[in-house]
């Protein structure tokens, strides 16, 4: 059974955030984060609580930054949105602690699926954000706040980011673009076209001299004599009297109405019906017309099925991981050992034939994007095709994301060509059926003997591609 770990700063009065952060990080590093259930923060000072949350969420190791944070506090703390749970300090006992442990059990199991969650360090902020969202398996929703420059914040993940919140919005847009996150419309907001600030002062101005010193007055239309004039012309003490026909006005809608308003400029005395609207940014001071403001859509986000997969295995190795579940994919080092064994085996017996094959699929990465949700399904069909042409004794390895090395044992180059033709036509058909897209597949087939240099073969294959 793992335990919760309580983080507490000895001197929370230190104004030097960086120093505090350093101390905290060394404190976090000294804890075996793979042996704990969740972090506990018990502090009264709001800034200290924030520092502790930042130090955890900005830590590079998944076992640290993904771990749940529980805030212990007596008041209904506004910072509770930034952590995974809040509990009352007074009633925090063993039962509460055990309840929290089981609450976060699924999350902790998720973290364990990441290869090396303790030593591994995530420096890619997009991957970190994706992992935090996918590990909670929930939708992250925006809140309206004056604390954020753009007026909106995603408390579930924003503590990972440095002060500048444009990185937060850029990251979410990138992940959505890659179809790793899907979005749900929440609202729209106007932002300064220059600095993306949400804090904008809208003003009505005189269309002639641009002065803000304008006053609105209502127009009155007297039905009896058809006179129309400004409200102020009709006011005599407590009564409204028509300045043209001197009759008293009684009931709006019966003997008069107010058809519209009129504005008068205190600067140039111009009168007009439609003032101009101008906007001034509180942050950078830029004035512009409202149509030049940025209209930003504010969405809620959740991980797609492909996003869930990429969150565990990383953004780069999605395809090879799907293949790995279907095929026995060997590492490159192991593959080179197999080549050596095959070379010495064929050299010694002279009668066996084995063939080395390289297959390169171009634009495989862009396929994740165009396939979106169906990527996992299509890639597992793809591995089924591989499986159908490879025999148990054949060896396959991914050189990188798009290049595959294979050893077809007891197969001569002519037989290998037939197999590889079947592979390419199967793959082509799969992509054409699903995507209206013909993949470019390059292959190279070579007899395995003492002359074989796999890296040189790859070079030759890629060179051919250029010409």
Between CA 417 and CA 412 the distance in angstroms is 9
How wide is the angle at C-alpha 244 spanned by C-alphas 274 and 225, nearest 5°? 85
SS3 state of residue 392: coil
Q: Which helix (H) or strand (E) holds 63?
A: helix 62-65
Asked if residue 183 lies in contact with residue 175, where contact means CB atoms within 8 angstroms, the answer is no
Chain positions contacting Zn ion, by CB under 5 A: 192, 194-195, 197, 206, 208-209, 211, 222, 225, 227, 242, 244-245, 265, 267-268, 270, 281, 283-284
**To the nearest whole angstrom, how small is the minimum distance from the Cβ of residue 287 to Zn ion?**
10
**To the nearest whole angstrom, how small is the minimum distance from the Cβ of residue 51 to Zn ion?**
29
Beta bridge partners of 236: 239
Q: Cβ closer to Zn ion: 58 or 247?
A: 247
**To the nearest whole angstrom, how small is the minimum distance from the Cβ of residue 284 to Zn ion?**
3
Q: Cβ closer to Zn ion: 144 or 209?
A: 209
First to last CA, the chain: 61
Q: Cβ closer to Zn ion: 69 or 242?
A: 242
**To the nearest whole angstrom, how small is the minimum distance from the Cβ of residue 288 to Zn ion?**
9
Asked if residue 247 lies in contact with residue 234, where contact means CB atoms within 8 angstroms, the answer is no
For residue 245, give the DSSP letter.
Answer: T
Q: Cβ closer to Zn ion: 49 or 265?
A: 265
Q: Cβ closer to Zn ion: 124 or 283?
A: 283
Q: Cβ closer to Zn ion: 97 or 287?
A: 287
For residue 394, give the DSSP letter.
Answer: -
**To the nearest whole angstrom, how small is the minimum distance from the Cβ of residue 271 to Zn ion?**
9
Asked if residue 190 lies in contact with residue 200, where contact means CB atoms within 8 angstroms, the answer is yes
**To the nearest whole angstrom, how small is the minimum distance from the Cβ of residue 31 to Zn ion?**
43
Q: Cβ closer to Zn ion: 209 or 418?
A: 209
**To the nearest whole angstrom, how small is the minimum distance from the Cβ of residue 172 to Zn ion?**
21
Q: Which helix (H) or strand (E) holds 12?
A: none
**To the nearest whole angstrom, how small is the minimum distance from the Cβ of residue 191 to Zn ion?**
8
Q: How many Cα atoms within 13 Å fall on the side-chain side of residue 370? A: 12
Q: Cβ closer to Zn ion: 19 or 213?
A: 213
Q: What is the DSSP string of 325-364?
A: HHS-EEPHHHHHHHHHHHHHHHHHHSS---EEEEEEETTH
- Residue whose C-alpha is closest to residue 388's, from 353, 435, 429, 449: 429
């Amino acid at each position: 059974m793992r335990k919760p770990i309580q983080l507490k700063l000895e001197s929370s009065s230190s104004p030097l955030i960086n120093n505090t952060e350093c101390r905290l990080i060394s404190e976090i590093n000294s804890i075996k984060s793979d042996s704990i259930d969740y972090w506990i923060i018990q502090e009264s000072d709001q800034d200290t609580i924030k520092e502790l949350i930042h130090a955890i969420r900005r830590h590079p190791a998944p076992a640290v930054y993904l771990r749940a944070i529980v805030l212990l506090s007596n008041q209904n703390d506004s910072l509770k949105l930034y952590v995974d749970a809040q509990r009352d300090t007074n009633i925090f006992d063993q039962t509460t602690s055990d309840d929290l442990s089981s609450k976060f059990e699924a999350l902790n199991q998720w973290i364990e699926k990441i290869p090396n969650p303790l030593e591994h360090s995530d420096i890619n902020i997009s991957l970190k954000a994706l992992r935090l969202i996918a590990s909670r398996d929930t939708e992250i929703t925006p809140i309206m706040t004056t604390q954020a420059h753009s007026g909106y914040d995603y408390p579930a993940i924003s503590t990972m980011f440095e002060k500048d919140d444009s990185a937060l919005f850029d990251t979410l847009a990138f992940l959505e673009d890659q179809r790793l996150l899907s979005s749900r419309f929440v609202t729209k907001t106007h932002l300064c076209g220059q600095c993306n600030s949400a804090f904008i002062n809208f003003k009505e101005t005189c269309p002639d001299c641009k002065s803000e010193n304008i006053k609105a007055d209502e127009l009155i239309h007297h039905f009896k004599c058809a006179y129309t004039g400004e409200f102020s012309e009709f006011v005599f003490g407590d009564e409204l009297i028509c300045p043209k026909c001197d009759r008293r006005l009684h009931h709006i809608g019966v003997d008069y109405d107010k058809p519209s308003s009129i504005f008068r400029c205190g600067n140039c005395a111009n009168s007009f019906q439609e003032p101009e609207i101008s906007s001034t940014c509180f942050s950078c001071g830029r004035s512009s017309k409202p149509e030049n403001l940025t209209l930003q859509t504010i969405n809620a986000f959740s991980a797609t099925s492909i996003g869930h997969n990429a969150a565990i295995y990383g953004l780069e190795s999605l395809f090879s991981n799907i293949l790995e579940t279907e095929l026995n994919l060997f590492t490159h080092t192991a593959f080179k050992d197999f080549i050596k064994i095959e070379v010495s085996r064929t050299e010694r017996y002279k009668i066996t034939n084995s063939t080395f094959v390289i297959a390169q699929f171009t634009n495989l990465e862009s396929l994740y994007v165009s396939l979106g949700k169906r990527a996992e399904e299509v890639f597992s069909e793809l591995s089924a095709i591989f499986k159908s042409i490879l025999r148990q004794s054949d060896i396959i390895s991914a050189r990188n994301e798009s290049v595959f090395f294979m050893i077809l044992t007891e197969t001569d180059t002519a037989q290998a060509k037939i197999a590889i033709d079947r592979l390419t036509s199967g793959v082509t058909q799969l992509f054409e059926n699903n995507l209206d897209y013909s993949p470019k597949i390059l292959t190279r087939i070579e007899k395995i003997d003492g002359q074989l240099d796999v890296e040189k073969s790859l070079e030759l294959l890629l060179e051919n591609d250029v010409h």
